[in-house]
């Protein structure tokens, strides 16, 4: 910007600062780098179970789509999840065996959800959720019931320093 345009330019022409991104304010089209791969944020689901809130970001990469789970419960918990093909019927069991690992039901409930991006069509829906972990509490299964559809994702914990963010705007 030249000296004269700064001196006589409109105040509205001032460059706008971009809000620094973190795990709580990612927006569609932001870029998340994880494990040396770049993923575009294509959706976000916000869950609310009677005031307890957590988030899941849908991240689309070149070869796969993953989910970044974000939960603040005394401390920050982050996880990476991928959908798996595992047929479950109701009632949802207290123990699930998948790929040689036994997972045990840790918690369950119902949450009201809102979505943005690709997930905007779920606004106001109620999701039944069932969270499982293995004996070592290193691997997890997330089971979500959306109406009559049951989705299962497998995941694991990560640390915040493993993620880098680039804001889209």
Is 108 within a domain? Answer: yes
Is 120 within a domain? Answer: yes
Is 4 within a domain? Answer: no
Q: In this predicted structure, what is the pLDDT of residue 4?
A: 47
How far CA 134 is from CA of 38, 80, 82, 129, 139, in Å, comes to: 29, 16, 16, 17, 6
Is 107 within a domain? Answer: yes
Q: In this predicted structure, what is the pLDDT of residue 35?
A: 96
Is 2 within a domain? Answer: no
Domain count for the chain, please give it: 1
136-162 tens-digit pLDDT:
999 999 999 999 999 999 999 999 999
Q: Is the per-residue pLDDT at 118 higher than 60?
A: yes
Is 38 within a domain? Answer: yes
Domain with 133 in it: 18-166
How far CA 48 is from CA of 18, 75, 114, in Å, comes to: 28, 18, 9
Is 13 within a domain? Answer: no
Is residue 77 within 8 A of residue 131, CB to CB? The reply is: no
User: To the nearest whole percent, how much of the chain has pLDDT over 70?
Assistant: 90
Contacts with 103 (C-beta within 8 Å, 6 or more apart), sequence order: 95, 96, 97, 132, 133, 134, 139, 140, 141
Label residue 80 exposed, middle or buried (CB < 10 Å: 0-12, 13-18, 19+).
buried
Is 101 within a domain? Answer: yes
Mean pLDDT on 1-24: 64
Residue with tokens 């869950």: 47
Q: Number of helices (H) and strands (E) in the chain: give both, helices first.
A: 1, 11
């Amino acid at each position: 910007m030249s000296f004269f345009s700064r001196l006589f330019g409109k105040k509205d022409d001032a460059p706008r600062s971009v809000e620094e991104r973190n795990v709580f304010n990612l927006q569609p089209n932001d870029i998340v780098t994880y494990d040396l791969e770049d993923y575009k944020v294509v959706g976000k689901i916000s869950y609310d179970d009677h005031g307890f809130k957590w988030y899941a970001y849908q991240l689309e990469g070149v070869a796969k789509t993953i989910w970044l789970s974000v939960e603040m419960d005394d401390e920050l918990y982050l996880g990476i999840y991928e959908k798996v093909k595992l047929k479950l019927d109701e009632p949802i069991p207290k123990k699930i065996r998948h790929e040689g690992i036994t997972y045990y039901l840790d918690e369950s409930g119902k949450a009201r959800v809102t979505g943005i991006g690709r997930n905007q069509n779920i606004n106001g829906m109620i999701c039944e959720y069932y969270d499982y972990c293995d004996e070592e509490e290193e691997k997890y299964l997330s089971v979500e019931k959306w109406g009559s559809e049951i989705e299962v994702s497998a995941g694991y914990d990560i640390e915040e320093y493993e993620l880098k963010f680039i804001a889209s705007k």
